[in-house]
């Protein structure tokens, strides 16, 4: 063990042993009866598999929503382009539903197909924004308490003549319903990789490799470059991720939906939001015990980080079942066309010090908003100060190795003799660095041979002075241990009873008491 590991282990034994041992008692019995969860009742309703795309579109039918999320009871506009004279729209809530994966919430919507104008890229920033007319307005107002439950929804678009299909993804929130867990869908990362119209924030994923410094939410999500990745076209990285490395097929398998399926299968009391909500509301976590970042959560604004840190310091438990998290700072601006807030994402990245207007304006008061990596100047706010770990390397596909099997989080879990959880380390991994949070405990220290050198991914846990536990898996692929969606089309099976039980223990630890800003 390194000196750093010894130091954190000593702190664990002396300073927070009582807290973590007390957590064992919480692990034994759930915080709330899962049988009483609204999620349990919702998933007892009949689902179906007709939500799955059978003939994914290229550009024959596609669209976007006017917001990444809406409060239950609000309206949402769909902007749809189609080369077909008519299209149909069917709206599904995503979950478990006895393995079917979704429930039809509203169907039978038939609309005239409209050819919408195709935008061109801004010659300076690369911004591509659609100015499309509204094709349909969804109204989620209802007197039925069982309808439009908070969740991640997919509107399935189908061309009546061509049969081509795609999705529009959106989230329904219930800001006024207390729940144990708040699941964040990381749509800013979806948008960073989205190359619809020929531009993303990556040169290898952009036309002529002139990547965009600004990207818009007023456009559809493009199709994955993987030959089988079209199954999620229009859904961002929720089902299948946008590959920027065509030879690295693991990057297209997706992560968020796997954990949604598992949480809902097990009846956890969960509501949903997006990181645009985390950005726009300091009380985004109101009424929740813990907040979950899942899969790939790379792009954070200053407001997002301040709001999450503030919630943590008020006692909210944080679960980072993710990696490469909070790596790049972004800014969110209004749409230059509609004026709607938070519809344009600004990300100058590697050229920020040379091109970002905030770096060039001679005003030091806004330097903390320059869109560089969080660990770099002028920010100097390494992400591990919040998360416990930070980005190490990519690509990785290996085994996660538990190195503290006697820790209470692993109590009663039948780990294999070598303490390995096969295939759960990757696609990107994080590790612990010196000068991280006080009392950081390294639970797993997983080696991986990459380019002739051993690199490590770390799973960590720490407790804040406010009493908040903060867990980090240090791997994007953790949710593959929970659910086998996308097997065998995009990856091999990785489900693990041990990973599922560990996750139950972690969730019980994170949700150990009721917290809200109002209390």
Tokens of 176: 């006024």
Give the domain-ending residue among 206, 232, 258.
232
Give the domain-ending residue among 232, 264, 289.
232
339 and 377 assigned to the same domain: yes
376 and 447 assigned to the same domain: yes
The tens digit of pLDDT for each residue in 171-191 reads 999 999 999 999 999 999 999
Please calculate the CA angle 13-432-369 and round it to the nearest 5 degrees.
Answer: 125
261 and 184 assigned to the same domain: no
CA atoms within 13 A of residue 265's CA, in its CB half-sphere: 17
Does the bond joining 378 to the residue before it have cis omega, within 30 degrees of 0? yes
Q: Give me the percent of the chain exceeding a pLDDT of 70.
A: 89
* Mean pLDDT score, 102-122: 97
227 and 273 assigned to the same domain: no
* Mean pLDDT score, 337-365: 98
201 and 255 assigned to the same domain: no
Q: How many domains does the chain have?
A: 2
Give the domain-ending residue among 174, 201, 232.
232
Q: Which range among 12-16, 105-109, 315-319 shows the weakest confidence by mean pLDDT?
A: 12-16
Q: Is the pLDDT of residue 31 over 60?
A: no
Q: Which residues pair with 475 in a beta bridge?
A: 429
Longest dimension (CA), the chain: 70
Q: Is 359 helix (H, G, I), strand (E, B) or coil?
A: helix
Q: Annotate 41-72 with DSSP letters as a single string.
A: HHHTS---STTS-SSB-SSSEEEEES-SEEET
26: confidence class by pLDDT, cuts 50, 70, 90: very low
Tokens of 413: 């879990």
Q: Is the pLDDT of residue 29 over 60?
A: no
336 and 379 assigned to the same domain: yes
Residue where the block lists tokens 């804040």: 464
Residue 515 forms part of a structural domain: no
The tens digit of pLDDT for each residue in 155-173 reads 999 999 999 999 999 999 9
Report pTM: 0.92
Instruction: Supply the mean pLDDT for the chain.
Output: 91
Tokens of 189: 């990362």
- Inter-residue contact 78 to 146 (CB < 8 Å): no
330 and 297 assigned to the same domain: yes
Q: Is the pLDDT of residue 399 over 60?
A: yes
Residue 96 belongs to domain spanning: 57-232
Q: Annotate 393-453 with DSSP letters as a single string.
A: EEEEEEEEEBS-TTSGGGTT----TT-EEEEEEEEEEEE--TT-STT-EEEEEEEEEETTE
Q: Specify the CATH number for the domain of residue 176.
A: 2.60.40.10
- Check residue 398 and give left, alpha or beta (phi > 0: left; psi -120 to 50: alpha): beta
| pLDDT for the residue numbered 36 | 82
Residue 314 forms part of a structural domain: yes
119 and 254 assigned to the same domain: no
* Mean pLDDT score, 315-341: 98
Q: Is the pLDDT of residue 459 over 70?
A: yes
CA distances to 59, 157, 229, 251, 401 from 55, in Å: 12, 11, 12, 22, 40
| pLDDT for the residue numbered 241 | 83
Radius of gyration of the chain (CA): 22
Q: Which range among 147-151, 215-219, 489-493 shows the weakest confidence by mean pLDDT?
A: 489-493
Residue 519 forms part of a structural domain: no
**Count of residues in the chain:** 519
Q: Is the pLDDT of residue 27 over 90?
A: no
Residue 131 forms part of a structural domain: yes
Tokens of 260: 């949604």
341: confidence class by pLDDT, cuts 50, 70, 90: very high
247: confidence class by pLDDT, cuts 50, 70, 90: very low
Q: Distance (Å, rounded) from C-alpha 82 to C-alpha 285?
A: 38
| pLDDT for the residue numbered 513 | 47
Q: Is the pLDDT of residue 500 over 90?
A: yes
DSSP H or E stretch at residue 471: strand 469-472
Q: Distance (Å, rounded) from C-alpha 497 to C-alpha 308?
A: 31
Q: Distance (Å, rounded) from C-alpha 403 to C-alpha 422?
A: 14
Crossing angle, helix 3-15 and helix 17-28, to 10 degrees?
70
Q: Specify the CATH number for the domain of residue 446.
A: 3.40.50
Residue closest to 424 by CA, chosen among 250, 184, 268: 250
Q: Distance (Å, rounded) from C-alpha 268 to C-alpha 42?
A: 11
Q: Which residues pair with 84 in a beta bridge?
A: none
161 and 307 assigned to the same domain: no
Q: Is 7 helix (H, G, I), strand (E, B) or coil?
A: helix
Q: Distance (Å, rounded) from C-alpha 506 to C-alpha 315?
A: 16
Q: Distance (Å, rounded) from C-alpha 96 to C-alpha 261?
A: 5
| pLDDT for the residue numbered 519 | 37
Does the bond joining 313 to the residue before it have cis omega, within 30 degrees of 0? no
| pLDDT for the residue numbered 395 | 93
Residue 279 forms part of a structural domain: yes
67 and 32 assigned to the same domain: no
Residue 239 forms part of a structural domain: no
DSSP annotation of 295: E
Q: Is the pLDDT of residue 516 over 50?
A: no
| pLDDT for the residue numbered 416 | 94
Residue 241 forms part of a structural domain: no
- Inter-residue contact 97 to 45 (CB < 8 Å): yes
Residue 51 forms part of a structural domain: no
281: confidence class by pLDDT, cuts 50, 70, 90: very high
209 and 105 assigned to the same domain: yes
Tokens of 132: 């499309």
* DSSP E strands, 304-377: 317-323, 328-333, 344-346
DSSP annotation of 266: T
DSSP annotation of 402: B
411 and 313 assigned to the same domain: yes
Edge to edge, the sheet with strand 179-185 lists 270-274, 179-185, 288-296, 317-323, 469-472, 453-463, 441-450
* Mean pLDDT score, 124-140: 98
Sign for the CA dihedral angle at 488, 494, 500, 506 comes to negative
Q: Give me the percent of the chain exceeding a pLDDT of 90.
A: 84
45: confidence class by pLDDT, cuts 50, 70, 90: very high
């Amino acid at each position: 063990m390194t000196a750093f590991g010894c130091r954190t282990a000593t702190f664990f034994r002396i300073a927070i042993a009582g807290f973590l041992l007390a957590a064992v008692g919480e692990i034994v019995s759930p915080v709330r009866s899962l049988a009483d969860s609204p999620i349990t009742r919702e998933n007892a309703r009949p689902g179906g598999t007709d939500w799955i795309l059978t003939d994914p579109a290229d550009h024959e039918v596609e669209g976007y929503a006017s917001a990444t999320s809406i409060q239950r009871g609000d309206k949402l506009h769909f902007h749809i382009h189609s080369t077909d004279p008519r299209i149909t729209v069917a709206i599904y809530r995503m979950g478990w539903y006895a393995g079917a994966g979704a429930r039809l919430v509203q169907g039978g919507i038939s609309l005239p197909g409209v050819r919408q104008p195709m935008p061109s890229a801004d010659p300076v920033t690369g911004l591509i924004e659609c100015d499309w007319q509204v094709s349909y307005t969804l109204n989620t107002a209802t007197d039925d308490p069982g309808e439009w439950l908070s969740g991640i929804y997919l509107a399935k678009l189908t061309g009546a003549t061509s049969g081509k299909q795609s999705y529009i993804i959106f989230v329904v929130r219930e800001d006024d319903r207390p729940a144990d867990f708040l699941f964040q869908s990381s749509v800013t990362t979806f948008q960073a990789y989205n190359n619809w119209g020929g531009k993303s924030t990556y040169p290898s994923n952009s036309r002529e490799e002139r990547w965009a410094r600004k990207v818009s939410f007023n456009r559809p999500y493009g199709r994955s470059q993987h030959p089988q990745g079209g199954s999620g076209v229009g859904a961002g990285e929720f089902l299948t991720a946008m590959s920027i490395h065509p030879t690295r097929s693991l990057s297209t398998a997706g992560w968020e939906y796997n954990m949604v399926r598992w949480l809902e299968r097990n009846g956890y009391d969960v509501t949903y939001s997006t990181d645009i909500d985390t950005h726009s509301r300091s009380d985004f976590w109101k009424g929740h015990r813990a907040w979950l970042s899942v899969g790939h959560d790379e792009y954070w604004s200053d407001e997002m980080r301040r709001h999450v840190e503030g919630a943590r310091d008020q006692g909210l438990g944080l679960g980072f079942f993710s990696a490469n998290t909070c790596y790049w700072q972004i800014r969110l601006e209004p749409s230059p066309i509609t004026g709607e807030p938070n519809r344009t994402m600004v990300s100058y990245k590697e050229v920020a010090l040379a091109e970002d207007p905030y770096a060039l304006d001679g005003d030091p008061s806004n330097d903390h908003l320059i869109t560089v990596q969080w660990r770099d100047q002028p920010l100097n706010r390494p992400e591990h100060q919040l998360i416990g770990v930070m980005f190490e390397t990519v690509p990785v596909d290996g085994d996660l190795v538990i190195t503290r099997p006697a820790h209470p989080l692993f109590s009663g879990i039948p780990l294999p003799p070598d303490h390995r959880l096969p295939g759960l380390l990757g696609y990107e991994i994080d590790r612990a660095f010196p000068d991280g949070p006080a009392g950081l405990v390294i639970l797993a220290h997983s080696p991986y041979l990459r380019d002739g050198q051993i690199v490590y991914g770390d799973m960590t846990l720490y407790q804040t002075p406010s009493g908040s536990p903060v867990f980090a898996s240090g791997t994007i692929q953790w949710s593959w241990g929970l659910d086998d969606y996308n097997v065998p089309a995009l990856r091999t099976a990785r489900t693990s009873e041990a990973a599922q039980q560990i996750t139950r223990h972690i969730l019980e630890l994170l949700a150990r008491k009721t917290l809200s800003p109002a209390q």
